[in-house]
Amino acid sequence: MLSKNQQIIFDIIEKAKEPIKAYSILFNVQKKGIKAPLQVYRALDKLVEIGKIHKIESRNSFVACKNSNCQISKATAFSICESCEEVSEISDNKLSKYLKSFQNKAGMKFKKYNLEFFGLCKKCSVK
Protein backbone atom coordinates (compact mmCIF):
# COMPACT_ATOMS: atom_id res chain seq x y z
CA MET A 1 0.00 0.00 0.00
CA LEU A 2 1.53 3.28 -1.07
CA SER A 3 1.49 6.32 1.19
CA LYS A 4 0.07 9.62 0.01
CA ASN A 5 3.33 11.08 -1.29
CA GLN A 6 4.44 7.77 -2.73
CA GLN A 7 1.18 7.48 -4.66
CA ILE A 8 1.35 11.03 -5.99
CA ILE A 9 4.88 10.54 -7.20
CA PHE A 10 4.27 7.09 -8.59
CA ASP A 11 1.32 8.41 -10.60
CA ILE A 12 3.48 11.11 -12.17
CA ILE A 13 6.15 8.58 -13.15
CA GLU A 14 3.67 6.09 -14.50
CA LYS A 15 1.92 8.69 -16.63
CA ALA A 16 5.18 10.02 -18.06
CA LYS A 17 6.06 8.63 -21.44
CA GLU A 18 9.73 9.14 -20.81
CA PRO A 19 12.07 8.71 -17.88
CA ILE A 20 11.59 11.57 -15.50
CA LYS A 21 14.04 13.30 -13.21
CA ALA A 22 13.62 14.00 -9.52
CA TYR A 23 13.51 17.76 -9.82
CA SER A 24 11.10 17.55 -12.71
CA ILE A 25 8.84 15.44 -10.49
CA LEU A 26 9.25 18.04 -7.77
CA PHE A 27 8.13 20.77 -10.15
CA ASN A 28 5.08 18.69 -11.11
CA VAL A 29 3.95 18.04 -7.57
CA GLN A 30 4.44 21.42 -5.99
CA LYS A 31 0.79 22.28 -6.57
CA LYS A 32 -0.06 19.16 -4.56
CA GLY A 33 1.86 20.40 -1.54
CA ILE A 34 5.10 18.49 -1.97
CA LYS A 35 7.58 21.30 -1.74
CA ALA A 36 10.98 19.89 -0.87
CA PRO A 37 13.45 17.68 -2.77
CA LEU A 38 13.71 15.35 0.18
CA GLN A 39 10.03 14.53 0.03
CA VAL A 40 10.51 13.45 -3.56
CA TYR A 41 13.70 11.52 -2.93
CA ARG A 42 12.18 9.66 -0.02
CA ALA A 43 9.26 8.53 -2.12
CA LEU A 44 11.60 7.59 -4.96
CA ASP A 45 13.78 5.52 -2.63
CA LYS A 46 10.78 3.62 -1.36
CA LEU A 47 9.32 3.08 -4.82
CA VAL A 48 12.66 1.76 -6.06
CA GLU A 49 12.96 -0.48 -3.01
CA ILE A 50 9.58 -2.10 -3.58
CA GLY A 51 10.15 -2.41 -7.31
CA LYS A 52 7.40 -0.11 -8.56
CA ILE A 53 9.94 2.07 -10.35
CA HIS A 54 13.52 1.78 -11.51
CA LYS A 55 16.32 4.28 -11.68
CA ILE A 56 18.05 4.64 -15.04
CA GLU A 57 21.51 5.07 -13.59
CA SER A 58 23.18 6.55 -16.64
CA ARG A 59 20.52 9.24 -16.84
CA ASN A 60 19.64 9.93 -13.21
CA SER A 61 16.02 9.42 -14.06
CA PHE A 62 13.16 7.16 -13.12
CA VAL A 63 10.66 4.96 -14.94
CA ALA A 64 7.73 2.84 -13.80
CA CYS A 65 8.37 -0.89 -13.88
CA LYS A 66 6.73 -2.56 -16.85
CA ASN A 67 7.56 -6.13 -15.80
CA SER A 68 5.53 -7.18 -12.75
CA ASN A 69 8.09 -5.51 -10.52
CA CYS A 70 11.16 -7.43 -11.69
CA GLN A 71 11.12 -9.54 -8.55
CA ILE A 72 11.51 -6.38 -6.57
CA SER A 73 14.12 -4.78 -8.80
CA LYS A 74 16.73 -7.50 -8.62
CA ALA A 75 17.07 -7.95 -12.35
CA THR A 76 16.67 -4.97 -14.61
CA ALA A 77 17.55 -4.32 -18.24
CA PHE A 78 16.85 -1.31 -20.41
CA SER A 79 17.36 -0.11 -23.94
CA ILE A 80 18.24 3.54 -24.28
CA CYS A 81 18.21 5.53 -27.49
CA GLU A 82 21.18 7.87 -27.52
CA SER A 83 19.43 10.23 -29.87
CA CYS A 84 15.89 10.74 -28.53
CA GLU A 85 16.56 9.28 -25.07
CA GLU A 86 13.64 6.90 -25.33
CA VAL A 87 14.02 4.18 -22.72
CA SER A 88 12.26 0.88 -22.62
CA GLU A 89 12.44 -1.93 -20.16
CA ILE A 90 13.58 -5.22 -21.61
CA SER A 91 11.72 -8.35 -20.74
CA ASP A 92 13.55 -11.36 -22.06
CA ASN A 93 13.47 -14.66 -20.22
CA LYS A 94 16.58 -16.04 -21.81
CA LEU A 95 18.57 -12.92 -20.96
CA SER A 96 17.36 -12.74 -17.38
CA LYS A 97 17.89 -16.44 -16.82
CA TYR A 98 21.43 -16.15 -18.13
CA LEU A 99 22.26 -13.11 -16.03
CA LYS A 100 20.62 -14.36 -12.85
CA SER A 101 22.82 -17.42 -12.88
CA PHE A 102 25.98 -15.61 -13.89
CA GLN A 103 29.01 -16.15 -11.68
CA ASN A 104 32.28 -14.31 -12.09
CA LYS A 105 35.67 -15.97 -11.93
CA ALA A 106 35.99 -15.24 -8.22
CA GLY A 107 32.91 -17.38 -7.73
CA MET A 108 30.93 -14.44 -6.48
CA LYS A 109 27.20 -15.04 -6.66
CA PHE A 110 25.17 -11.96 -7.35
CA LYS A 111 21.92 -10.83 -5.80
CA LYS A 112 21.12 -8.18 -8.32
CA TYR A 113 22.06 -6.72 -11.67
CA ASN A 114 21.30 -3.75 -13.85
CA LEU A 115 21.98 -3.71 -17.57
CA GLU A 116 21.73 -0.72 -19.88
CA PHE A 117 21.96 -1.09 -23.65
CA PHE A 118 22.61 1.96 -25.82
CA GLY A 119 21.89 2.48 -29.47
CA LEU A 120 19.40 4.10 -31.80
CA CYS A 121 15.71 3.33 -31.64
CA LYS A 122 13.83 2.51 -34.82
CA LYS A 123 12.67 6.08 -35.40
CA CYS A 124 16.09 7.56 -34.88
CA SER A 125 17.94 5.01 -36.97
CA VAL A 126 16.07 5.94 -40.16
CA LYS A 127 16.64 9.68 -39.76
Gap between the Cα atoms of 9 and 14, Å rounded: 9
Listed residue (51, 47, 68, 20) closest to 114, CA to CA: 51
Which residues form the interface with DNA (CB under 7 A)? 1, 3-6, 21-24, 33-39, 41-43, 45-46, 60
Contacts of 97 (CB under 8 A, 6+ apart): none
Closest separation in Å from C-beta 24 to DNA? 7
Gap between the Cα atoms of 1 and 68, Å rounded: 16
112 scored as a contact of a copy of itself (CB under 8 A): yes
Contact residues for Zn ion, defined by CB under 5 A: 65, 67, 70, 81, 83-84, 86, 121, 124
Residues that bind a copy of itself in the complex, under the rule CB under 8 A: 57-58, 79, 82, 88, 90, 92, 95, 98-99, 102, 104-122, 125
